[in-house]
Structure 1
Amino acid sequence: MQIQRELWMSVCPKHKELVGIIENFPASFFTSYSHHDNQRNNITFFQSLNLNKRIITKLMASAPLSFSRPVEQNEVMVRTLQQAYQELGGEEANMKIWLQKLLSQNPFVLMKPPEVLRENLLFLRDKGFSTAELLHLLSKLRGFVTELNPDTMHRSMAYSQDTIGCSEAELRHIVLNCPAVLYYPEDILAERFKGLLSIGISMSQIKETPTVLELTTQIVNYRIQRLRVHGYDVRTGSLEVLNGTKKDFEMSYGKLHLRSERPIFNPVAPLKVDD
């Protein structure tokens, strides 16, 4: 227990935060004594990359197996990620920030075989994506690019292209704006397309704003109902207002609400009254 406490305190010095981690991730803290050397070596390795302590703490808590295994395995995967980033034209000065975001959004990327990343990038290159576009995808997908495989990406892209009725160049543009097209299986894509078309949204609108496919049918319907109250018809307007997180939508909705409630008179103009 004392050894574990010392290890964790080296990256999470605040006692209150450490207690919270133990409460939420007890299995990550109460590990076998035989793993302590690997944990220590992995902590040292990630500190050598100058990663933020919070990122290292999150990795230890949410992906404990990556810290229990030999450090050499993590070194290989991190080196593969860094090489891919640099080979695609990523700037050295931005690599640390990029790596931190990647590990923060998908800690389990460390557990994937390095070959998976290379295979997926080769597949996308064969599909016509340029080096700059591959770097954009690698940055936008973060670690999720290692969750994919060429076969599932091929099926999802083929289904989307056939459903939308677009060219390969247009499909690449859609993927760059909405990488979800790569990793959503055909049944989910079919449900999303069907739901959007059933409420009067056209395929050309989806093509123009493909990120709407990231939203479930239930969320889309709920947001459309709220917008309709203020006279906004998504069938004739932009779908951009539907996009984003709940917070993003509420901000857009709030602006729309203010516009619809705006008084018809000029509030700063003097009122005309009888003498």
Structure 2
Amino acid sequence: MLRLITRSLCLHCQRGQIGPPVLARPCSSLTQKENQQTVDALYNLSVDIRKVRKLKGWVLHQHPAYVSEAESLLRGLGADGPAVARILEQHPEAVLCSPEQMSAQRELWGSVCPNDRDLVGIIEKFPASFFTSASHHNNQRDNILYFQSLRLNKRIISKLMASAPQSFSQPVEHNQHMVCTLQDAYLSLGGQEDNMKIWLQKLLSQNPYVLLKPPEVLRENLLFLREQGFSSAQLLQLLAKLRGFVSELSPEGMRRTLDFSREALGCSQERLLAIVLQCPALLYYPAAVLSERLRGLLAAGINLEQIVETPTVLELTTQIVHYRVQRLRAYGYDVRTGSLEALNGTKKDFEATYGRLQLRRERPLFNPVAPLKTDE
């Protein structure tokens, strides 16, 4: 039995789980007519008013609004005119934040992202994470201090704040609970304490949304995988490769996928575990998706033995498989007899493989009896 199941959590992890707060509209007065000053100010900044009306027209009815203050803050950080327009068009709610809120957010974000140019880049991608409700400020500050106490890189903390702002808006106790569960799992599965900070930092960087999941889900899923026959070392490998997404799975869903894969691929339980370790993403796909992809591969002339040897090919959609098979065939590569590695991988990987095949075909052969050109 996993030690993480029996080991008691640290005191701050024993507190009850608290769900993330619901983000509400700012407390400003709503009028029947649009706030013409807001409309004119946004128009002067080249913001597409029609787009704002269509997607978030309620903002234009709010009073007061702080368009010039939002512009001043963004320009003070180094944003140019087009960047300001894009930000306010994407997240017009920004103009409802008071100058005091904007100033507080700039100071807060400055503690983890001191470079103004980097901060502008974050705001362009995640404006809602910066222009947020004042009611979340204390939770944001407490969570920043907590993650700094874990000695996480500032860049990682700013990425967490930007891509998963709900995790910073919720009380710090929830994040403490989940982080403690992750650390306990890592150590219980044989991870080295000296490497735990790097492991945690990488996991949170790759999947910041893991902080929004109930810790109990992680424990249940690891226990289920243990019951399937995975060793502690293999579970640690899975936890690292799954990038924390194991918290988004369920024992019942994984059971259905594993049962289907075992029967469809005609392999033993031991071989199935090896396939999952080679292709952890297999755990995510429903049986219907795997069935469709298997039919697509078999229709292309690929046999089950090839798929078992290179299971990561199941990560490709049927459309991608057919497209790549045709392109490889055009240059004389037959996936029915060759390795599926040529078919596998990301778009960049495939283009590199395709480029090598193209170069090999177009390169002229050397004729050993042809006379050499020499200077007379």
Is 1:117 the counterpart of 2:194? The answer is: no
Q: Distance in 1 between matches of 2:103 and 2:288?
A: 50
**Aligned counterpart for 2:111 among listed residues 4, 7, 10:** 10
- 8 Å contact from structure 2 (residues 129, 161) kept in 1: yes
Q: Distance in 2 between matches of 1:91 and 1:27?
A: 37
Deviation at residue 94 of structure 1 after TM alignment: 2.3
Tell me what 2:132 maps to.
31
Query: If you compute each CA radius of gyration, which structure gives the higher value, 1 or 2?
Result: 2
Is 1:144 the counterpart of 2:245? The answer is: yes
Deviation at residue 257 of structure 1 after TM alignment: 2.4
**What is the letter of the counterpart of residue 180 of structure 1?**
A
- 8 Å contact from structure 2 (residues 300, 325) kept in 1: no
Instruction: Report % sequence identity.
Output: 71
Q: Distance in 1 between matches of 2:301 and 2:161?
A: 47
**Aligned counterpart for 1:133 among listed residues 228, 234, 244:** 234
**What is the letter of the counterpart of residue 173 of structure 2?**
E
Tell me what 1:203 maps to.
304
Tell me what 1:173 maps to.
274
Deviation at residue 22 of structure 1 after TM alignment: 1.9
Larger deviation, residues 94-103 vs 148-157: 94-103
Tell me what 2:26 maps to.
none
Is 1:226 the counterpart of 2:330? The answer is: no
Tell me what 2:145 maps to.
44
Tell me what 1:100 maps to.
201
Is 1:249 the counterpart of 2:350? The answer is: yes
Deviations 1:99-129 (A, max 9, x none): 1221122111001111111100000000001
Q: Secondary structure at the match of 2:291?
A: helix
Q: Distance in 2 between matches of 1:266 and 1:176?
A: 48
Deviation at residue 7 of structure 1 after TM alignment: 0.5
Q: Distance in 2 between matches of 1:231 and 1:25?
A: 46
Relative to structure 1, the CA distance from residue 93 to residue 251 in structure 2 (aligned partners, 3 Å threshold; closer, same or farther) is farther
Is 1:91 the counterpart of 2:192? The answer is: yes
Q: Distance in 2 between matches of 1:131 and 1:270?
A: 65
Deviation at residue 270 of structure 1 after TM alignment: 6.0
**What is the letter of the counterpart of residue 134 of structure 2?**
Y
C-alpha RMSD over aligned residues: 1.7
Deviation at residue 29 of structure 1 after TM alignment: 1.1
Correspondences of 1:252-267 after superposition (within 5 Å): 252-265=353-366
Moved over 6 A (4+): none
Deviations 1:40-77 (A, max 9, x none): 11111111222222211111111111001111110110
Correspondences of 1:149-160 after superposition (within 5 Å): 149-160=250-261
Q: Distance in 1 between matches of 2:189 and 2:354?
A: 39
Deviations 1:215-272 (A, max 9, x none): 11111111112211210000100001122111122222222223223322169x9627
**What is the letter of the counterpart of residue 129 of structure 1?**
F
Deviations 1:191-220 (A, max 9, x none): 111110111110110011000001111111
Deviations 1:126-156 (A, max 9, x none): 0001111111100100111001010000000
- 8 Å contact from structure 2 (residues 213, 247) kept in 1: yes
**What is the letter of the counterpart of residue 110 of structure 2?**
M
Relative to structure 1, the CA distance from residue 156 to residue 15 in structure 2 (aligned partners, 3 Å threshold; closer, same or farther) is same
Is 1:77 the counterpart of 2:178? The answer is: yes
TM-score (norm 2): 0.70
Deviation at residue 92 of structure 1 after TM alignment: 2.2
Q: Distance in 2 between matches of 1:270 and 1:130?
A: 65
Relative to structure 1, the CA distance from residue 266 to residue 59 in structure 2 (aligned partners, 3 Å threshold; closer, same or farther) is farther
Higher fraction of helix? 1
Tell me what 2:39 maps to.
none
TM-score (norm 1): 0.94
